[in-house]
Amino acid sequence: MLSVVVPCYDNRALALASMATLDAFLARRAPDAEVILVDDGSRSAERLRRDELPARVTLVQLPENRGKGHAVRAGMARARGDCRLFTDVDLPYELEAIPHARDLVAGGFHAVFGDRTLRASAAEVPLPLVRRAASRAFTKLVSVLVVSGVPDTQCGFKVFSGALADALFPLLTIDRFAFDVELYYVLLKHDVLIRRIPVRLRNAGPSSVLPATDGAEMARALLRLPWNHRRGRYRSAALEALGPGPYWPEG
């Protein structure tokens, strides 16, 4: 079974359109799939109702806005699939990546992540210059403060085996912008192999990250990761038991 987790905040119209698109795709390519739409404490005018959504969609409504990381954890806690993924509410990447990633998980990979820097990745829409510059700056910050050699931590398409999701997400602590980095960090500390795959960007909605105001929070969150590791916050026999998994080149 496939579980698709989609966090949403104050984006009612987009969420309704995306759920219809996703439901139509899954009906053809993964009819056993479930979708878990997590409303991260949207304002009352933007809140979703269950009766507006396709039957396969479970709506989780959180009482307050705490950030994408918290919303994804809440969705993963409700997921039942042996393959579980999360993506953004605007469905930014070509949906054909979903069955490809599911096949890789079925073949033995525990983590299959989209990577926009791979040669085979492509963008059908251009990203604004400011957003590209902010992404490069954040990647540099990650390499200096936390871990080097990870070219794209922030791609909003990440897929997990059910066993990995059950072991990983309860360990995570970051609610907002740096939660993807924490996820990478914990997996690398446990030598869990991450299979990177190319993605095709089809939508580029506005980013909620404001570099001028959010940069300090990001830096503080990144600095907490080594501290958490030294304190044993990320210790997990379940993750250790998963092992490195099979070897396979990216793509």
Query: 10-residue block means of pLDDT along the chain (251 residues)?
Result: 97 96 98 97 93 97 95 98 97 97 95 94 76 66 70 92 97 92 92 94 67 68 91 94 63 55
Predicted structure pTM score: 0.90
* Cα distances (Å, whole numbers) of residue 16 to 49, 73, 220: 10, 21, 35
Provide the pLDDT for residue 241: 87
The residue type at 112: V
Say if CB 129 and CB 207 are below 8 A apart: no
Buried b (16+ CB within 10 A) or exposed e, 22-48: bbebbeeebeebbbbbbbbbbeeeeeb
Provide the pLDDT for residue 176: 87
* Span(s) in the chain for CATH 3.90.550.10: 1-90
Other beta carbons within 10 Å of 111? 24
Provide the pLDDT for residue 146: 73
Provide the pLDDT for residue 142: 75
Taking the alpha carbons at both ends of the chain, their separation in whole angstroms is 23
Provide the pLDDT for residue 221: 86
Provide the pLDDT for residue 99: 97
Superfamily classification of domain 1-90: Spore Coat Polysaccharide Biosynthesis Protein SpsA; Chain A (3.90.550.10)
Report the C-alpha gap between 101 and 94 in whole angstroms: 12
Provide the pLDDT for residue 184: 92
Report the C-alpha gap between 239 and 104 in whole angstroms: 19
